[in-house]
Amino acid sequence: MNTRPYSRAERYGHELQKLLGELISRELDTSSIGFVTVTDVKMTNDLKIAKVYVSAINSGQPSDQVIQFFDSRAKYLRGLMGSQLTSKSVPELRFYYDNSEEEAEKIERLFTKLHSEKAEE
């Protein structure tokens, strides 16, 4: 019986998130796309595919170029991960852009605007 609060895929995804964050900051030159953060890693139940969600701050690049940057380096990152993981296989990396920070900023600006308009009334 599973007494742990999270599934194996969630635990493995969390570990990969930490590892990928370290590898990206240490091994890749991300200056062309800005400050990069691995915001989440979602694993398939069979642990063969990792959906890696990244965000870039002060990027100046469209999100598709940020994803293209990581897609072109996915095999390299996967190789680096293989030397540090003790699991039987290393999951395939699929990158997705996480724009939740940008969306949160938009919502915050809307609230601020509404608050200032209400204060003027």
Q: Is the pLDDT of residue 84 over 70?
A: yes
Cβ neighbors of 27 (< 8 A, separation 6 or more) are 76, 77, 80
pLDDT band at 2 (very low <50, low <70, confident <90, very high): low
Coil, strand or helix: which one is 5?
A: coil
This model's pTM is above 0.95: no
Instruction: Name 85's Cβ contacts closer than 8 Å, sequence gap at least 6.
Output: 19
Q: What is the pLDDT of residue 121?
A: 66
CA distance 103 to 54: 14
Give the pLDDT confidence score for residue 91 in this predicted structure.
Answer: 95
pLDDT value at residue 71: 95
Which H or E run contains 35?
Answer: strand 35-43
Residue pLDDT, tens place only, 56-72: 887 778 888 999 999 99
Give the burial string for 87-96 (b: 16+ CB within 10 Å, else e): eeebbebbbe
Structural domains for the chain: 8-120 (3.30.300.20)
